[in-house]
A and B are shown apart, each in its own frame.
Chain A
Amino acid sequence: MSGPSTAEPERIQLSSAVVRFAGDSGDGMQLTGDRFTTQTALAGNDLATLPDFPAEIRAPAGTLAGVSSFQLHFSDQDIHTPGDAPDVLVAMNPAALQKHLSALKPGGIVIVNTDAFTDRNLQKAGYEESPLHDGTMTDYQLHEVPVTGLTLRALERHIEEGALNKKEAERCKNMLALGLVSWMYSRPIAETEEWLEDKFSSKPEIADANVTALRAGWNYGNTTEAFAFTYEVKAAQLTPGRYRNITGNQAMAYGLIAASVRSGLPLFYGSYPITPASDILHELAKLKHFGAATYQAEDEIAAMGSVIGAAFGGHLAVTASSGPGIALKAEAMGLAMITELPMVVIDVQRGGPSTGLPTKTEQSDLFQLLYGRNGEAPIPVIAASSPADCFDAAIEAARIALTYRPPVALLSDGYLANSAEPWRLPAVDALPALDQAFAFTTEPNQQDGGFAPYLRDEDTLARPWALPGTPGLEHRLGGIEKEEGSGHISYDPANHHAQTAMRYARLERIGAQLPPLEVIDPSGEAEVLVLGWGSTKGPLQAACHELRARGRKGARVHLRHLAPLHPDLDDLLRSYRVVVCPENNMGQLAMLLRARTLVDVKTHNRVTGQPFASDELVEVIERMGWGEQT
Chain B
Amino acid sequence: MTTNETKLTKKDFTSDREVRWCPGCGDYAILATVQSLLADIGARPEKTVFISGIGCSSRFPYYMDTYGFHTIHGRAPTVATGLAITRPDLDIWVVTGDGDGLSIGGNHLMHPLRRNVNLNILLFNNEIYGLTKGQYSPTSPLGSVHKSTPMGSLDRPVNPVSLALGAEATYVARSIDTDRQHLSGGLRGAYEHRGTSFVEIYQNCNIFNDGAFAALREKGQKEHNQIRLVPGEPITFGPEGERAVIAEQDGSLRIVPTEEAGERVVVHDPTRVEPTTAFALSRLAPSPTGPTPMGVFREVDRPVYDDELRKQVASARERYGEGDLVELLEGGNVWDVL
- Mark A residues whose CB is within 8 Å of B: 38, 41-42, 44, 191, 238-245, 254, 257-258, 261, 266, 268, 270, 287-293, 295, 297-299, 301-315, 317, 331-332, 334-335, 339, 424-426, 428, 468-480, 488-489
Contact = CB atoms under 8 A, between A and B. Distances in A.
A308 B329 contact: no
A308 B79 contact: yes
Contacts of A314: 86-87
B317 A288 contact: yes
Contacts of B316: 288-289
Among B49, B80, B309, B335, max chain A CB count under 10 A is at B335
Contact of A468 (B49, B309, B333): B49
A565 B307 CA distance: 43
Contacts of B206: none
A240 B82 contact: no
Nearest to A471: B46
B66 interface: yes
Main secondary structure of the interface of A (DSSP, over half): mixed
Contact of A243 (B75, B79, B321, B335): B335
B85 interface: yes
A309 B81 CA distance: 7
B141 to A, nearest CB: 29
Bin the interface of chain B by size: 35 or more
A239 B336 CA distance: 10
Contact of B323 (A244, A261, A339, A426): A261
A468 B83 contact: yes
Given A289-B319, A331-B72, A242 B45 contact: no
Contact of A476 (B68, B86, B89): B68
Contacts of B336: 241-243
Given A305-B79, A309-B82, A475-B67, A295 B335 contact: no
B62 interface: yes
B337 interface: yes
Contacts of B45: 471, 474
B67 to A, nearest CB: 4
Interface in B45-66: 45-47, 49, 51, 61-62, 64-66
Nearest to A335: B72
B9 interface: no
Contacts of A258: 325
B335 A468 contact: no
Given A42-B335, A241-B336, A242-B335, A292 B325 contact: no
B328 interface: yes
B47 A302 contact: no
B322 interface: yes
Contacts of B70: 476-480
A191 to B, nearest CB: 7
A303 B79 CA distance: 9
Interface in B281-330: 309-310, 312-313, 316-317, 319-323, 325-326, 328-330
7 contacts: A42-B335, A239-B337, A270-B82, A298-B107, A309-B84, A309-B85, A476-B62
B28 interface: no
B333 A313 contact: no
B83 A310 contact: yes
Contacts of A472: 46
B78 A301 contact: yes
Contacts of A309: 51, 69, 78-86
A472 B279 CA distance: 43
B85 A297 contact: no
Contacts of B321: 289
B86 A469 contact: no
Contact of B333 (A240, A244, A311): A244
A313 B68 CA distance: 12
A313 B82 contact: yes
B338 interface: yes
A496 to B, nearest CB: 17
Nearest 6 Cβ contacts at the A-B interface: A305-B78, A309-B82, A478-B70, A290-B323, A306-B82, A288-B316
Interface of B: 15, 17, 44-47, 49, 51, 61-62, 64-72, 75, 77-87, 89-90, 107-108, 110-111, 309-310, 312-313, 316-317, 319-323, 325-326, 328-330, 332-338
A488 B68 CA distance: 12
B82 to A, nearest CB: 3
A242 B81 CA distance: 41
A38 B333 contact: yes
Given A289-B320, A293-B310, A332 B75 contact: yes
Contact of A302 (B61, B78, B332): B78
B87 A468 contact: yes
A291 B313 contact: yes
Nearest to B83: A309
A258 B320 CA distance: 17
A238 to B, nearest CB: 5
Given A242-B335, A243-B334, A478 B61 contact: yes
Contacts of A293: 85-86, 309-310, 313
Given A38-B333, A332-B75, A474-B65, 14 more contacts: A44-B337, A241-B337, A268-B82, A268-B85, A289-B322, A295-B309, A301-B78, A302-B75, A305-B82, A313-B86, A334-B72, A335-B72, A428-B329, A473-B46
Nearest to A297: B78
A308 B46 CA distance: 19
Among B62, B86, B89, B329, max chain A CB count under 10 A is at B86
Nearest to A298: B111
Nearest to B82: A309
Contacts of A191: 333
A428 to B, nearest CB: 5
A510 to B, nearest CB: 25
A473 B82 CA distance: 21
Contact of B89 (A245, A469, A478): A469
Contacts of B84: 309
A58 to B, nearest CB: 28
Given A244-B329, A425-B329, A476-B61, A268 B111 contact: no
A468 B82 contact: no
Contact of A312 (B69, B310, B330): B69
A305 B15 contact: no
A477 B47 CA distance: 16
A425 B86 contact: no
A468 B338 contact: no
A387 to B, nearest CB: 14
A339 B321 CA distance: 36
Contact of A428 (B44, B66, B312, B326): B326
Contacts of B71: 305, 308, 332, 335, 478-479
Contacts of A42: 333, 335
Among A268, A287, A289, A314, max chain B CB count under 10 A is at A289
B163 to A, nearest CB: 15
A416 to B, nearest CB: 18
A254 B82 contact: no
A425 B72 CA distance: 42
A105 B193 CA distance: 69
Contact of A474 (B67, B107, B312, B329): B67
A287 B67 CA distance: 31
Nearest to B80: A309
